[in-house]
Structure 1
Amino acid sequence: MRAVVLGGTGFLGRHIHAAFQDAGARVVPVSRSDATHTDLTTDSGLRSLAELLARIRPHAVVNAAGRAWQADERQMAEGNAELVDRLIGVLAAQDHRPRLIHLGSVHEYGPGHAGTSTAEEHPAAPTTPYGRTKLLGTRSVLRAVAAGEADGVVLRLANVSGPGTPRGSLLRQVADHLVEAARAQDRGETPAALRFRTLAVRRDFVDARDVADAVLAAAAAPLSSVNGQIVNIGRGEAVRMRHLVARMVALSGLPVEVVEDADGRSLREDAQWQRLDVSKARRLLGWHPHRDLDRSLRDLLDTACVPVRGEEREEAQT
Structure 2
Amino acid sequence: MQNPSPSRPPSAPAEPSGPPRTVIVLGGTGCVGRHVCAAFARRGHRAVVVARRPAAHLADHPFRSLDLSTASPADLRALFTEEGAHAVVNATDMGGATDVTSAADGGEARAAELLDASEGLARRLVRALAGIPSRPVLVHIGTIHEYGPGNPGTPLDETVPPAPSGAYARAKLAASRTVQSAADAGEISAVVLRLVNTCGPYPTPAGFVGKLLPTLRTAAETGAAPEVTVGDAVRDWIDVRDVAEAVVLAALRPAGNGTFNIGSGVGVPVRELVSQALTVAGLPDTGVREAPTRGLGADWIQADIGRARSLLGWAPRIPLRQSLSDMWDSKATSR
Q: What is the CA distance between 1:137 and its match in structure 2?
A: 0.4
Partner of 1:102: 140
Q: Give CA deviations for 1:63-107 in whole Å, capped at 9, x if unaligned.
A: 111325235333322222111111111111223210111111100
Q: Whole-Å Cα distance in 2 between the matches of residues 261 and 230 of structure 1?
A: 35
Q: Secondary structure at the match of 1:268?
A: coil
The range that moved more, 62-71 or 144-153, is 62-71
Q: What is the CA distance between 1:166 and its match in structure 2?
A: 0.8
Q: Alignment identity in percent? A: 39
The question of whether the paired residues in 2 share the 8 Å contact of 1:194 and 1:256 is answered with no
Q: Whole-Å Cα distance in 2 between the matches of residues 203 and 300 of structure 1?
A: 18
Q: Secondary structure at the match of 1:204?
A: strand
Q: What is the CA distance between 1:305 and its match in structure 2?
A: 5.6
Return the match for 1:77 from 115, 120, 129.
Answer: 115
Q: Give CA deviations for 1:156-176 in whole Å, capped at 9, x if unaligned.
A: 111111111111211122111
Q: Secondary structure at the match of 1:138?
A: helix
1:226 partner amino acid:
G
Q: What is the CA distance between 1:239 and its match in structure 2?
A: 0.5
Partner of 2:38: 18
Partner of 1:201: 233
Return the match for 1:3 from 16, 23, 28.
Answer: 23
Return the match for 2:93 from 39, 45, 66.
Answer: 66
Q: What is the CA distance between 1:255 and its match in structure 2?
A: 3.5
Partner of 1:42: 70
The question of whether the paired residues in 2 share the 8 Å contact of 1:161 and 1:296 is answered with yes
Q: What is the CA distance between 1:256 and its match in structure 2?
A: 5.7
Q: Whole-Å Cα distance in 1 between the matches of residues 289 and 119 of structure 2?
A: 35
Q: What is the CA distance between 1:260 and its match in structure 2?
A: 2.5
1:247 partner amino acid:
Q
The question of whether the paired residues in 2 share the 8 Å contact of 1:7 and 1:29 is answered with yes
Q: Whole-Å Cα distance in 1 between the matches of residues 92 and 187 of structure 2?
A: 21
Q: Whole-Å Cα distance in 1 between the matches of residues 149 and 71 of structure 2?
A: 37
Partner of 1:30: 50
Q: Give CA deviations for 1:89-134 in whole Å, capped at 9, x if unaligned.
A: 1111223210111111100010111111111000100002221111
Q: Whole-Å Cα distance in 2 between the matches of residues 269 and 123 of structure 1?
A: 17
Q: Give CA deviations for 1:19-73 in whole Å, capped at 9, x if unaligned.
A: 00001112211111225331112146x5443222112221111111132523533
The question of whether the paired residues in 1 share the 8 Å contact of 2:25 and 2:88 is answered with yes
Q: What is the CA distance between 1:191 and its match in structure 2?
A: 3.2
Change over 3 Å in CA distance of 1:92–1:195 after alignment to 2? same
Larger radius of gyration: 1
Alignment of 1:139-154 (within 5 A): 139-154=177-192
TM-score by length of 2: 0.82
RMSD over aligned CA atoms reads 2.0
| Structure 1, unpaired ranges of 5+ | 307-318
Change over 3 Å in CA distance of 1:267–1:293 after alignment to 2? farther
Aligned residues: 294
TM-score by length of 1: 0.87
Change over 3 Å in CA distance of 1:106–1:258 after alignment to 2? farther
Change over 3 Å in CA distance of 1:302–1:75 after alignment to 2? farther
Q: Whole-Å Cα distance in 1 between the matches of residues 196 and 141 of structure 2?
A: 10
Q: What is the CA distance between 1:192 and its match in structure 2?
A: 4.5
Structure 1 runs (4+) deviating above 4 angstroms are none
Alignment of 1:243-262 (within 5 A): 243-255=272-284, 257-261=286-290
Partner of 1:314: none
Q: What is the CA distance between 1:299 and its match in structure 2?
A: 1.3
The question of whether the paired residues in 2 share the 8 Å contact of 1:66 and 1:76 is answered with no
Q: What is the CA distance between 1:138 and its match in structure 2?
A: 0.5
| Structure 2, unpaired ranges of 5+ | 1-20, 55-62, 101-109
Q: Whole-Å Cα distance in 1 between the matches of residues 156 and 265 of structure 2?
A: 9
Determine whether 1:239 maps to 2:268. yes
Partner of 1:313: none
Q: Give CA deviations for 1:150-201 in whole Å, capped at 9, x if unaligned.
A: 111111111111111111211122111112212322xxxx3342234x3x21
